[in-house]
Amino acid sequence: MRTRDVGWVEVICGPMFSGKSEELIRRVVRVDIARRKVQVFKPALDDRYADREIVSHSRLSVSAIPVEDSAELLRLVDDETEVIGVDEAQFFDDGLVEVVESLAHGGRQVIVAGLDLDYLGRPFEPIPTLATRAEYVTKALAVCHRCGEPANFTQRTVVSDDLVVLGATDSYEARCRRCWDPTEPEQPKLEL
Ligand code: ADP
Ligand code: MG
Ligand code: ZN
């Protein structure tokens, strides 16, 4: 790693289908073209489509290392790595904030993608905290599945008592603020 470099953090956030993974993949591909060493991480619980890659809804992909938590991520960063990508970062523990900051302090460029709101419209940590600490924040919007307006919200369309229903395209829609309704479909009471 070129230690003279100053590190920075970028957060790419927004609802499902807003192109967060696409943006992350685009940045990672460019780093690779520049022949700089890049590593991409994802939470191990997110095993949809493929185990050792991240795949966008538009079927772009890059290889990624599944990790259990932020501590494992930090352990697996190679010395020569200059750029670090993290996808689905909302599924990491809060320790991700310190890990990302220490990597940036050490001269790395860290690009973190994830949902900033859960399907009930509540801040989805650690993304909001990471966004306040980041040098760059890219807010991505989707297209409202109902009306076509810009969509900042994720609508769950199936009934489940889990906070997380992974990824399935048919379980969620992107919605604008007018079409989004967190009381629909009626969910069982969450014990949070
Ligand atoms: P995210 O990681 O934010 O969930 P992806 O990068 O995986 O999003 O996918 C973005 C792609 O999803 C878009 O380029 C488009 O091809 C597709 N897509 C499907 N539904 C929508 C929608 N409602 N709004 C925007 N893009 C959508
Ligand atoms: Mg994604
Ligand atoms: Zn709408």
For the stretch 163-172, pLDDT in tens is 666 656 689 9
Where helices occur in 106-159 by DSSP H, the ranges are 127-133
pLDDT in the model for residue 164: 63
Q: Is the CB of 17 under 6 A from ligand 1?
A: yes
Pocket test for ligand 1, best of 56, 62, 91 (most atoms within 8 A of CB): 56
Q: Tell me, using a 6 A CB cutoff, whether residue 146 lines ligand 1.
A: no
pTM for the model stands at: 0.92
**What residues contact residue 124 under an 8 Å CB cut-off, 6+ apart?**
90, 114, 115, 116, 117, 118
Ligand whose nearest atom lies closest to the CA of 146: 3
**Could you count the other beta carbons within 10 Å of the beta carbon of residue 176?**
20
How far apart, in Å, are the Cα atoms of 161 and each of 88, 119, 178, 185?
A: 20, 12, 24, 12
pLDDT surpasses 90 at 6: no
Is 186 one of the annotated active-site residues of the chain?
no
Mean pLDDT of the chain, nearest integer: 92
Domain 8-140: give its CATH architecture: 3-Layer(aba) Sandwich (3.40)
Q: Is the pLDDT of residue 84 over 80?
A: yes
Return the biggest CA–CA distance within the chain.
54
Domain ranges of the chain: 8-140
Alpha carbon of 25 to ligand 2 centroid (Å): 10
Pairing relationship of beta strands 8-13 and 136-139 according to DSSP bridges:
parallel
